[in-house]
């Protein structure tokens, strides 16, 4: 099916023609605020920033940092079975910067153009993908329709949709049914998501688990790793809090209440929050140094407020408190820590990763903590739990071959 069939999709495609009226000004405003890369923002207007490689090209898209990094395992599994090259697109600056240090084989990154016909035509004319793979729950209607009109097979993988997300999308059921009719393969993380997708009009939804469980370990620059390891000598035990403000409030209170204090590393999701975290810690009577200022771990807390270095901290910290789990974010991916041997603690709110944490708990590979239990958990030995989590991650990384095979079976063969 290559033409819109319902009024909602037709209306969207008409309205999308207005995007170029405001897109350049909006992107320049974002550029002035540091939210776009100065040398790459025009990729969002469909202007290519790289030469297309010869031969077949497989295009995969994810929205932000976590979703983009989760695609790496799937790309690696596909790369074993094909000589094609890969293009990964995303929308956020952080995803581009971190992926640059963690690129899978034969892979390049571009920003997805805004969802206007002219931008998409420019993008597709240049890259000419043989397959379009979308991840999780972010579908751009214009891009989906444009790819289908060119005969490019479409697949949705790692789909995730909880009850709240389904409720928001249900009112647009006709739009989603039109989009899903264009997909040759739809794969969900869990049975709940599969049911939601089917209710929105997707057919033959398969359940393949989470790609994030199979994420390859994040890279770490060898020199930086050696320097950080040397700086942490004698500082054990070390706890990492990969955090949002709600997590920090709980962690700082628990840290102050602990009978003894390990070195605490706080890695904020937004590195620009370093000064705010330092001020909050001072309110608790705790001393702080910040990596972004060139300071080392010589205080109670080392705020590692730098981008793209989580591969360092997961390697060096025996225990990680997964962020977003004490607030409305509802958790983050625990498998990045697991794959590098860091034990997993988390708060009570992990709705976005229910299946992942269920698997970890069923195998004794994660521990849920509350504000009351966290002080004791900071000092406990979690090495056995870390070993079990890493074993699960290692097994998942070897389990992507069937999905990779099915995706490659959809690839348009060269004429």
Known catalytic residues are 67
Identify the H or E element spanning 185: strand 185-188
Contacting residues for 10 by C-beta, under 8 A, at least 6 apart: 4
- The residues, ordered by sequence, that sit 6+ positions from 51 with a Cβ below 8 Å of its Cβ are none
Q: How far apart are CA 268 and CA 280, in angstroms?
A: 13
Question: Smallest Cα–Cα separation from 35: which of 87, 96, 113?
Answer: 96
Q: What three-state secondary structure class fits 343?
A: strand
Let me know: does 24 contact 47? Beta carbons within 8 Å.
no
Instruction: Report the distance separating Cα 343 and Cα 366, nearest Å.
Output: 7
Task: With beta carbons less than 8 A apart as the criterion, state whether 44 and 90 touch.
Answer: no
Contact 39/25 with Cβ under 8 angstroms?
no
In this structure, what are the phi and psi dihedrals at residue 157, rounded to the nearest 5 degrees? -125, 160
Instruction: Give the pair of three-digit tokens for residue 78.
Output: 């596909």
Q: Are 265 and 362 in contact (CB under 8 A)?
A: no
Task: Report d(CA 341, CA 262) in Å as an integer.
Answer: 18
Return phi, psi of residue 131, to 5°: -160, 145
Residue in this structure with the two tokens 């095979």, named with its chain if needed:
405
C-alpha dist (Å) from residue 108 to 125, 249, 296, 331, 388:
17, 39, 34, 29, 33
411 alpha carbon, distance to own chain's centre: 25
The residue among 255, 253, 247 whose CA lies nearest residue 273 is 247
Question: Look-up: residue for tokens 């195998």?
Answer: 363
- The Cα-based distances of 379 to 85, 262, 267, 313, 351 in angstroms read 46, 7, 19, 18, 27
């Amino acid at each position: 099916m290559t033409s819109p069939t319902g009024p909602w999709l037709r209306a969207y495609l008409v309205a999308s023609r207005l995007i170029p009226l405001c897109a350049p000004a909006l992107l320049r405003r974002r550029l002035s605020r540091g939210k776009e890369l100065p040398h790459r923002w025009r990729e969002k207007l469909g202007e290519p920033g790289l030469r297309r490689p010869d031969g077949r090209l497989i295009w995969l898209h994810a929205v932000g940092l976590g979703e983009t990094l989760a695609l790496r395992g799937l790309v690696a599994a596909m790369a074993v079975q094909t000589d094609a090259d890969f293009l990964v697109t995303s929308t956020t600056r952080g995803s581009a910067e971190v992926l640059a240090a963690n690129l899978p084989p034969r892979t390049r990154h571009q920003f997805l153009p805004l969802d206007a016909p002219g931008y998409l035509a420019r993008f597709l004319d240049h890259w000419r993908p043989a397959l379009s793979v979308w991840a999780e729950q972010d579908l751009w209607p214009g891009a989906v329709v444009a790819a289908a009109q060119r005969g490019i097979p479409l697949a949705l993988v790692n789909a995730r949709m909880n009850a709240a997300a389904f409720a928001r999308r249900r009112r647009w059921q006709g739009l989603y049914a039109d989009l899903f009719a264009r997909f040759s393969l739809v794969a969900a993380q869990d049975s709940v998501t599969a049911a939601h997708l089917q209710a929105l009009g997707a057919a033959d939804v398969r359940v393949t688990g989470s790609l994030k469980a199979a994420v390859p370990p994040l890279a770490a620059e060898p020199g930086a790793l050696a320097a950080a390891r040397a700086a942490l000598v004698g500082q054990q035990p070390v706890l990492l809090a990969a955090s949002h403000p709600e997590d920090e409030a709980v962690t700082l209170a628990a840290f102050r209440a602990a009978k003894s204090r390990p070195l605490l590393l706080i890695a904020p999701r937004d590195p620009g929050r370093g000064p705010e975290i330092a001020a909050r810690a001072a309110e608790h009577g705790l001393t702080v140094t910040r990596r972004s200022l060139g300071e080392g771990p010589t205080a109670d807390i080392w705020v590692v407020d730098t981008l793209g270095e989580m591969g360092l901290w997961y390697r060096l910290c025996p225990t990680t408190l997964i962020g977003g789990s004490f607030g409305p974010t509802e958790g983050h991916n625990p498998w990045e820590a697991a794959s590098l041997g860091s034990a997993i603690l988390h708060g009570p709110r992990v709705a976005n990763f229910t299946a992942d944490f269920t698997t970890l708990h069923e195998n004794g590979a994660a521990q849920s903590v509350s504000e009351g239990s966290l002080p004791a958990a900071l000092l406990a030995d979690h090495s056995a739990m870390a070993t079990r989590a890493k074993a699960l991650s290692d097994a998942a990384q070897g389990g992507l071959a069937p999905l990779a095979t099915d995706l490659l079976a959809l690839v348009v063969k060269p004429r």
